[in-house]
Amino acid sequence: MGLCWLQQIGRGLQGEDYSAGQYRCKREIVIMAAQVFFADMRTGMRENLHTKLERLADQAGLFAIVHSGELVAIKLHFGEKGGHAYIRPTFVRRIVDQVKSVGGKPFLTDSSTLYPGERKEAVSALTCAIENGFAYAVVNAPLIMSDGLRGHSARRVAVAGELLHEVDIGQEILEADAMLTLSHFKCHELTGFGGAIKNLAMGCSSREGKLEQHSTVAPSISAEQCTACGACLKACAHDAIDLRSGKAVIDAARCTGCGRCITICEPRAVRINWNEESSLVMKKMAEYALGAVSGKGKKVLFINFITQVSPACDCYGHSDAPIVADIGILASADPVALDQACADLVNQARGLPDTAMQSGHQPGCDKFRGVYPEIDWEVQLDHAEKIGLGSRQYQLILLQPKHEKW
C-alpha cells in the first residue's frame, strides 16, 4: 500500500518532496485518499506530548463532531490488571477536557470480556479500570460499561456484510450522540495487529457479539473442572444446560451463544471453542466495526497510539517488551486508513532486539509476520475497505512543530 507523506501549510496540502527525519513525501499518489494526521514523539521545552495530542485531535476534526449538550462516548481499553501498555489516563484526560470545552458530555466506555477474568462483568471491569488509573479524579469523566452489568445490554444492528446481516452492539455505544475511539496499536495473536477496527468490533460488541466473532460452535464444559453447583443452569435463559451423571452439559442445539454461563462459572469449567480461523475472525470484525458506527454518520473520530507496541493483546495480565520504539499518535475520521497508516509506520521502523519478534527487524519488513508468521493481517483491512468501512489509501499529514525553536 503506497504512502503519501504530506506537509500541511497555511492554504492546504503541499505535495512536493518533503523530508523530516525518516519521513519522505512523494507525489506518486494522486487518487482520493483519507487524511490521517500524525504527531511524532518529538517534544521539547515549548510543547509536550499531551499538548501535541490536543493539537492533533483539533486538526483531525474533534470540534467538528462534538456539540454542546451531546453525550460523547470515548471508547478505549481500560487495560487488564497487571498490564501496563494501555493508553495512559493522562492522555485520555486531555481528550475529555477538549470535549467538555465545547459543552460536550463525555464518558469513558469499554465492554465486558468474553473470557473469565478481571473484566468479565461491570463491577470487576470498572474496578480494574479505576485501579489502572482511570478514576474520575484523573480522567474527569464517568466510566460506563457499554454493554451493561453482565455484557448483555445490547441491540442487534443491521449491516450490509458478506458474512453477517446483523451484529450485536453495546446499547450505550448506539445511544451516544458522538464517539471518539482511542486505540493502543499493537500486535495481536489472532489478527496480526489490533487498532481502531478491532477496538470498534470487539470493544463495542456484547458478550454474544464477541462469541459470534470468535466461534461458530457452542461453549463446552470441562467435566474435570465442573463441580455441579448448578449456577450455569440458573443463568442459562434458553434451558440449554442439563446435569448428567453429576456434571453440567450444554445442548449445542439449544445454545444461542449468549455467554452467560462463561461468566457465572466460578471454577471456570465452561470453555470457549476458539475454532474460527483467523481470516474469518478478521472479516467478522470488519463487519462488526461497521455496525458499531451505525447511525453516527460523520460524528466519529479515531485516534491510535503507536506506543509500547507489545506483541500481544492488552487483555493479558502482562505486557511483553515492545517490538519497535514508540512512533507517535495518529488520528483520522477513517478507521481503515488510520490502521493502514499505523501498520505502515510500524513496518517502516527498525525492530528492537530481544523481543518476541523472530524476523523482519529491518526497516520495511513485515513486523507483524515477524511475530505471527501464519497470520495475514491485511485481511481485516481488505475486507473493511470492501464493505465500505473506509479506505486503505491515505495522506499522512505531519503535525508541524508549534514553534520554530524547540
Model confidence pLDDT, tens digit, residues 20-61 = 333 333 334 344 799 999 999 999 988 999 999 999 999 999
C-alpha cell at 362: 529491518
Q: Assess if residue 403 is contained within a domain.
A: no
Break the chain down into helix, strand, coil percent, rounded to 5: 30, 20, 50
Does residue 184 have a pLDDT over 90? yes
Whether 166 and 246 share a structural domain: no
Mean pLDDT of 277-296: 94
Q: Does 406 map to a domain?
A: no
DSSP-assigned letter for residue 322: P
What are the backbone dihedrals phi and psi of residue 23, each rounded to the nearest 5 degrees, phi first? -95, 135
User: Do 10 and 64 fall into the same domain?
Assistant: yes
Same domain, 117 and 141: yes
The values of phi and psi at residue 60, to 5°, are -80, -10
**Within this chain, do residues 229 and 292 fall inside the same structural domain, yes or no?**
no
- Between 17 and 51, where is the model more confident? 51
Is 167 found in the same domain as 71? Answer: yes
Judge whether residue 273 has pLDDT over 70. Answer: no
> Cell triple for residue 222?
470441562
Element (H, E) at 138: helix 136-139
**Which 3 state secondary structure label does DSSP give 27?**
coil
Query: Is 285 in contact with 197 (CB distance < 8 Å)?
Result: yes
93 and 238 housed in the same domain = no
Residue 306 grid cell:
503507536
Domain limits at 131? 5-215+277-398
User: Is the predicted pLDDT of residue 331 greater than 50, yes or no?
Assistant: yes
Q: Where does a domain end: 272, 291, 313?
A: 272
For 117-141, what is the mean pLDDT?
Answer: 93
Domain membership flag for residue 361: yes
Average pLDDT over residues 359-385: 96
Regarding pTM above 0.85, the answer is no
Q: What CATH number did the domain enclosing 257 receive?
A: 3.30.70.20
**Taking the C-alpha atoms of 390, 391, 394 and 400 in order, what is their torsion angle to the nearest 10 degrees?**
0
Q: Can you give the pLDDT at residue 316? A: 81
* Band of pLDDT at residue 120, cut at 50, 70 and 90: confident
Kindly state whether residue 405 falls inside one of the protein's structural domains.
no
Candidates 117, 107, 116, 204; CA nearest to 153 is 204
For 313, phi and psi rounded to 5 degrees? -60, 150
Name 152's Cβ contacts closer than 8 Å, sequence gap at least 6: 206, 207, 208, 258, 260
Count of the separate structural domains present in the chain: 2
